């Protein structure tokens, strides 16, 4: 049985095809997996566990059904859904993971991250990340009405798009030295992450040892699933149907 990894689905009512494809994965192939790991940015925005809106409600129900069918679900916070709390763990039947964390995959210790911590050349983003991960900031934000939080999320997404357009591609990608440092610090030779939307498998050298970095793809133009079993790793693309409008 395979362990499945996904990241950067950015599920949003304006892009129902991605939600439909993910729900189909949960109801079908994921039922044959030994575990499902979601390494951040499952949603385009998560403004708090008290938001009853879609697609969060439907996705949490489907994840809970998968968990109840005997497939463990693991959920990591990303840069868009960093406000996950314990309520979403209960609603989705998932275990929240720290970022980073090390898991054993078929006797291979593997470091899991969302990936944004590796983009150290983007100083402005790292400063923003420190701000919004501060518990006091989060407490103040979550105390606001849902409408105000939705407005902030929309403004933050627009600012992020503008920020990205003004940066060189190398700045928005991982810093190679940061990758080597995190592998060295955790004493592992394999890293799986998302965030950069650059799906690939990279061979590395860490202190004379062969290492590997696997980057999960986003779900904008197609889906992206990493399957890991005792025989190795396969990074697969999934077709998405054409979006015809917001989900109802």
Q: What was the pLDDT predicted at 171?
A: 58
Q: Is 114 annotated as a binding residue?
A: yes
Q: Is 160 annotated as a binding residue?
A: yes
Q: What was the pLDDT predicted at 247?
A: 40
Q: Is 195 annotated as a binding residue?
A: yes
Q: Look up residue 71 and give its two tokens.
A: 């497939």
Q: Is 150 annotated as a binding residue?
A: no
Domain 3-238 has CATH 3.60.21.10: yes
Q: What angle (nearest 5°) sits at the alpha carbon of residue 34, between those of residues 89 and 87?
A: 0
Residue 112 to residue 216: CA distance in whole angstroms:
11
Kindly report the pTM of this predicted structure. 0.93
Residue-wise pLDDT for 75-84, tens only, equals 999 999 999 9
Q: Is 163 annotated as a binding residue?
A: no
Q: Is 134 annotated as a binding residue?
A: no
Which residues of the chain, if any, have pLDDT below 50?
A: 246-248
Q: Is 197 annotated as a binding residue?
A: yes
Helix ranges (H only) for the chain are 16-27, 56-68, 86-92, 123-132, 135-142, 146-165, 169-172, 176-186
Cα distances (angstroms) measured from residue 64 to each of 47, 111, 229:
20, 25, 24
Q: What was the pLDDT predicted at 246?
A: 46
CB 73 within 8 A of CB 96: no
Q: Where are the domains of the chain?
A: 3-238
Q: What is the rounded average pLDDT for all residues in the chain?
A: 92
């Amino acid at each position: 049985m395979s362990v499945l990894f996904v990241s950067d689905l950015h599920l949003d009512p304006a892009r129902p095809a991605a939600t439909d494809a993910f729900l189909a994965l949960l109801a079908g192939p994921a039922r044959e997996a030994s575990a499902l790991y979601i390494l951040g940015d499952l949603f385009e925005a998560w403004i708090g566990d008290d938001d009853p809106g879609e697609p969060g409600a439907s996705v949490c129900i489907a994840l809970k059904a998968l968990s109840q069918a005997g497939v463990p679900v693991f959920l990591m916070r990303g840069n868009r859904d960093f406000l996950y709390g314990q309520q979403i763990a209960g609603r989705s039947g998932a275990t929240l993971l720290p970022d980073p964390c090390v898991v054993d995959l078929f006797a291979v210790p593997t470091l899991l991250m969302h990936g944004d911590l590796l983009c150290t050349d983007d100083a402005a983003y790292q400063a923003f990340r420190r701000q919004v991960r501060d518990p006091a900031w989060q407490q103040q934000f979550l105390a606001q009405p849902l409408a105000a939080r939705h407005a902030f999320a929309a403004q933050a997404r627009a600012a992020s798009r503008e920020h990205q357009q003004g940066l060189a591609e190398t700045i928005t990608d991982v810093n190679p030295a940061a990758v080597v440092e995190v592998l060295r610090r955790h004493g592992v030779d394999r890293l799986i992450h998302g965030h950069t939307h650059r799906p690939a498998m990279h061979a590395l050298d860490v202190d004379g040892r062969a290492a590997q970095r696997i980057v999960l793809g986003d779900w904008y133009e197609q889906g992206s699933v990493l399957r890991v079993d005792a025989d190795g790793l396969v990074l697969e693309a999934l077709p998405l149907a054409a979006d015809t409008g917001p989900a109802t």
